[in-house]
Amino acid sequence: MIPRIAFPVTILVADDLKENREMLAALLRNEGYRVILAEDGEEALELLATGPIDMALLDVMMPRRNGFDVCREIKGKLETRLLPVVLITGLNSTEDRVKGIECGADDFLSKPIKKEELVARVKSLLRIKQFTDELERAETVLFSLALSIEAKDPYTEGHCDRLSKYSVALGRRIGLPEDQIIALRRGGIIHDLGKIGVPEHILLKPGPLTADEWTVMKKHPEIGERICKPLRSFGLVLPIIRHHHEKMDGSGYPDGLKNGAIPLTARIVTIVDVYDALTTSRPYREALSLERAFEIIGEEVKRGWWDGDLMTEMQALIRETEARVTRAAVKAAHGVTSRGVSAGDTQAMAASGSTGR
């Protein structure tokens, strides 16, 4: 029985030999799958970009782009990294199998291909894909909820996206492993998901909160954690959601954790969150400059609130990012100037692109 994923299930078959393509297509179509064909690796990648595909069967030895190259590119892109890829090969050496695994291949089929083995492996991988699709749908729902909360306040527009991107960049900068980078990407988006349980009159109140209102507001990390806890794939995200309001001196919430007891990923999201809050406009003040923002963060580090090492790394990251943006703007402006735009126009273009915000 074909697993219950999106119908019709579409399988890409890439092989430079026509007889091989047609043989595989006939076997798969007989099982009820929709099959599209590619004559080489380059065409396979073009077809992958045209619409949803549920699995790819790739011959290893193809012209233009071989199966290893195509597999590596599929697994290297966020939008296709979970696509099951089966490499079809007449190569039996351990070295070739290892190379396929390093490229991210999910399985292998050796020539000559046996129908029973082909069908069994395809069904098995599609069944796994069904589960990953369900997880992705759950993630999408959570992200949509988080963004709907953000959309209620015009002053926080784009906050979750910025928080996610800068947290990932900071995590990569300090050398975190990929699973924690993924957690930072997710956590940056849904860190405040628990605010869905905070009444709007509190959430959007323009003035200071009362003691009772503040008690309600401080429950949102725990609410967010409870919402996401059933998702086992979000295990590394939960500490970010629960602890992104902790402070190094123990004066934060909800658990009053101190120093190293606060998970590193939560500390990363916290420092980015503070920076973004200071450098974006609020009803009670304009956005602060980069220099002033880090002056304030530095003062709060001395007060014992934030991780000083992460502040230093964040400051270096922001300055490097702004320098790249400035260089790119100047380079682009110079190219336009050489085609007849005035120097004054060039300076204006460079200045307008230098803030990076």
Residue among 172, 88, 103, 119 nearest 3 (CA): 119
Residue 339 corresponds to which tokens in the numbers above? 């085609």
Distance CA 185, CA 181 (A): 6
Side-chain-facing half-sphere of 163: CA atoms under 13 Å: 34
- Cα distances (angstroms) measured from residue 236 to each of 76, 110, 177, 187: 22, 38, 12, 9
Measure the CA–CA gap between 158 and 351, rounded to whole angstroms: 22
Domain end among 99, 132, 165: 132
CB atoms within 10 A of CB 339: 6
Q: Within this chain, do residues 14 and 122 fall inside the same structural domain, yes or no?
A: yes
Annotate 62-101 with b (16+ C-beta within 10 A) or e (fewer).
beebbbbbbbbbbbeeeebeebbbbbbbeeeeeebbebbe
188 and 309 inside one domain? yes
Examine residue 46 and state whether it is found in any structural domain, yes or no.
Answer: yes
Residue that terminates a domain, selected from 101, 132, 163: 132
* C-alpha span between 260 and 110 (Å, rounded): 51
Distance CA 195, CA 65 (A): 48
CA distance 245 to 234: 19
Model pLDDT, residue 3: 38
- Asked, for residue 144, whether it belongs to a domain, the answer is no
Q: What is the pLDDT along the chain (357 residues), one digit of tens a residue?
A: 333 444 579 999 999 999 999 999 999 999 999 999 999 999 999 999 888 899 999 999 898 899 999 999 999 887 788 899 999 887 666 777 788 888 899 888 888 888 898 999 899 888 888 777 766 677 777 877 787 777 776 667 788 899 999 999 999 999 999 999 999 999 999 999 999 888 888 888 878 899 999 999 999 999 999 988 888 788 999 999 999 999 999 999 999 999 999 999 999 999 999 999 999 887 667 899 999 999 999 999 999 999 999 999 999 999 998 888 888 878 777 764 444 433 333 333 233 332 333
Contacts of 347 (CB under 8 A, 6+ apart): 333
**Which amino acid, one-letter code, is at 233?**
S
How far is it, in rounded angstroms, from Cα 274 to Cα 174? 19
Question: 44 CB contacts (<8 Å, ≥6 apart)?
Answer: 12, 14, 38, 56, 58, 65, 70
CB count in 10 Å sphere of residue 224: 28
The answer to whether position 128 is within a domain reads: yes
192 in the same domain as 106: no
- Same structural domain, 159 and 274: yes
CA distance 40 to 341: 46
Within a domain: 326: no
267: tokens are: 């500390």
The CATH code of the domain that includes 108 is 3.40.50.2300
Under 8 Å between Cβ of 7 and 32: no
Residue 149 lies inside a defined structural domain of this protein: no
Question: Do the domain assignments include residue 147?
Answer: no
Q: Both 163 and 258 in a single domain?
A: yes
Same domain? For 194 and 74 the reply is no
pLDDT at 7: 55
Task: State whether 110 and 225 are in the same domain.
Answer: no
Whether residues 22 and 123 share a domain: the answer is yes
Preceding omega of 112 cis (within 30 degrees of 0): yes
What pLDDT sits at residue 343? 34
Residue 27 lies in a domain: yes
Same domain, 181 and 311: yes
Beta-carbon contacts of residue 169 (< 8 Å; ≥ 6 apart):
317, 321
Task: Give how many domains the chain has, as a whole number.
Answer: 2
DSSP string, 20-68: HHHHHHHHHHHTT-EEEEESSHHHHHHHHTTS--SEEEEESS-SSS-HH
Residues 108 and 181 in one domain: no
Cβ pair 118, 109 in contact under 8 A: yes
Residues 167 and 289 placed together within one structural domain of the fold: yes
Is residue 265 one of the residues assigned to a domain?
A: yes
CATH number reported for the structural domain that contains residue 203 in this entry:
1.10.3210.10
**Residue 167 and residue 309 in one domain:** yes
- CA–CA dist 327, 356 (Å, integer): 11
C-alpha 62/C-alpha 47 separation (Å) is 16
For 15, half-sphere exposure in the C-beta direction (CA atoms, 13 angstrom radius) is 19
Strand partners for 37: 13
* Domain region containing 274: 155-319
